Structure 1
Amino acid sequence: MPEQSVTHATFTIERDYPAAPDRVFAAWPDPATKARWFAGGTHDGHELGFETTYQEIVPDERIVYTSAPSTGGTVATVSLTTVEFVAAEDGTRLVLTAYLDGHEQPARREQGTGDQLDALGKELAAR
């Protein structure tokens, strides 16, 4: 069994999208839409898992969830994430804050989350 440790970290990522909050929010609960921008795949030949429990959903305003990404049956981290959809002059400011508790490298998770939010922007532009 691989050695595990606990690393606590918090990061916040902000993105501006030229779409109304209800449209940006709608890209999260729809499975077909989310599958196009929310990354999955494999790591070192193992399928990546992402178990999520939604704690609070306020339509068009906020989603709060806990998640436990894993690879090869090993949990990489357990996190609490808040996604806020804030009306802005030119559309929506999305603010995502994650608190991590696990043995995943926090910078790697932050980069991956940023990549997903960039993919969300492309998905919104395509619609």
Structure 2
Amino acid sequence: MSEPSVVHVSFSIERRYDASPARVFAAFSDPVAKRRWSACHDEGGLGEHMLDFREGGRETMRGAPAESGVYAMNATFQEIVPEQRIIYSYELLRDEFRLSISLATIEFHRDGAGTRLLFTEQAAFLDGHDRPEWREQGSRIGFDRLAEYLAQEQAPA
């Protein structure tokens, strides 16, 4: 068995969406909307999802991308300022292994008729079970899916 280890990483992702801060914020706060765009893997889908969007509320996701195990995310919302900021802490697990513990901040800034979103994650990756570059890549995929979701929701039927 290897020695316990921790790697501390912080990264930020910035995106601009052609949607108002209210619409972008709603994509995070509405359980139906969040489920539609938030999986970062095609294989296995999102699986289980529960969202209690309030300060002190929780979000849980459970799914199984590829054959690498069952992933679970357990989050607690620390601060919610409607259309401005969401701060939450979360743990990510694969099967019984805790991969990381993170603090994430999402900021919503009006940018003309659209929104500039700034996501910052500060993470402690534990015991070599996950890699920071994989987390950042998965987060980028999620924000790409959010752009697709917002574009589809805006498109006329």
Question: Do both share a fold (TM > 0.5)?
Answer: yes
Amino acid of the structure 1 residue aligned with 2:9: A
User: Which residue of structure 2 lines up, in the alignment, with residue 42 of structure 1?
Assistant: 64
**Structure 1 residue 3: Cα displacement:** 5.7
State the alpha-carbon separation in 2 of the partners of residues 27 and 15 from structure 1: 14
State the alpha-carbon separation in 1 of the partners of residues 14 and 147 from structure 2: 12
SS at match of 1:76: strand
State the alpha-carbon separation in 2 of the partners of residues 110 and 4 from structure 1: 23
Answering whether residue 121 of structure 2 is matched by residue 93 of structure 1, we say no
* CA offsets 1:64-122 (integer angstroms, 9 cap, x no match): 00010111121110000000000002400000000010232111100000000000000
Count of residues in correspondence between the two structures: 127
Q: Which runs of 5+ in 1 are unaligned?
A: none
Question: RMSD of the alignment, in Å?
Answer: 1.5
Q: Which runs of 5+ in 2 are unaligned?
A: 40-45, 47-62
The structure whose Rg is larger is 2
User: Which residue of structure 2 lines up, in the alignment, with residue 74 of structure 1?
Assistant: 97
**Structure 1 residue 13: Cα displacement:** 0.1
Greater RCO (CA < 8 Å, at least 6 residues apart): 1
SS at match of 1:46: coil
Amino acid of the structure 1 residue aligned with 2:36: R
Q: Which of 135, 138, 142 is matched with 1:116 structurally?
A: 142
Percent of aligned positions with the same letter in both sequences? 41
* CA offsets 1:45-81 (integer angstroms, 9 cap, x no match): 5221000000000000000000101111211100000
Which runs of structure 1 show a deviation greater than 6 angstroms over 4 or more consecutive aligned residues? Answer: none
State the alpha-carbon separation in 1 of the partners of residues 2 and 93 from structure 2: 13
Q: TM-score, normalised by structure 1?
A: 0.93
SS at match of 2:29: coil
Amino acid of the structure 2 residue aligned with 1:70: L
SS at match of 2:28: coil
Q: TM-score, normalised by structure 2?
A: 0.76
Q: Relative to structure 1, is the Cα distance of residues 93 and 71 closer, same or farther in structure 2, using a 3 angstrom cutoff?
A: same
